[in-house]
């Protein structure tokens, strides 16, 4: 039996963070399609070692109240 966790990291600078994680995941696979809700963006991938990573950005100025 294999147990794993999927890490999702909140980020403050969306564009720089996406570039960093794309470089980290070079050769990895996309876990799901990016989701852009205007106030929130998320995307996840599986790295070369099989670990799941996610990037989540939420704009505090645009989040629904």
Predicted TM-score (pTM) of this structure:
0.56
- At 53 the pLDDT is 80
Give the per-residue SS3 of 1-59. Answer: CCCCCEEEEECCCHHHHHHHHHHHCCCCEECCCCEECCCEEEEEEECCCCCEEEEEEEC
- At 43 the pLDDT is 81
Q: pLDDT per position in the chain (65 positions), as tens?
A: 666 666 777 777 777 777 666 666 677 777 888 888 888 888 888 877 788 888 778 877 765 66
The CATH number fitting domain 6-58, selected from 3.40.50.2300, 3.40.50.1390, 3.20.20.450, 3.10.180.10? 3.10.180.10
Per-domain residue ranges of the chain: 6-58
């Amino acid at each position: 039996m294999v147990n794993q966790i999927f890490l999702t990291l909140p980020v403050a600078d969306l564009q720089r963070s996406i570039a960093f994680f794309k470089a980290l995941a070079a050769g990895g696979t996309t876990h799901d399609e990016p989701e852009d809700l205007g106030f929130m963006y998320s995307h996840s991938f599986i790295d070369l070692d099989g670990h799941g990573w996610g990037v989540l950005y939420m704009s505090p100025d645009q989040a629904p109240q």
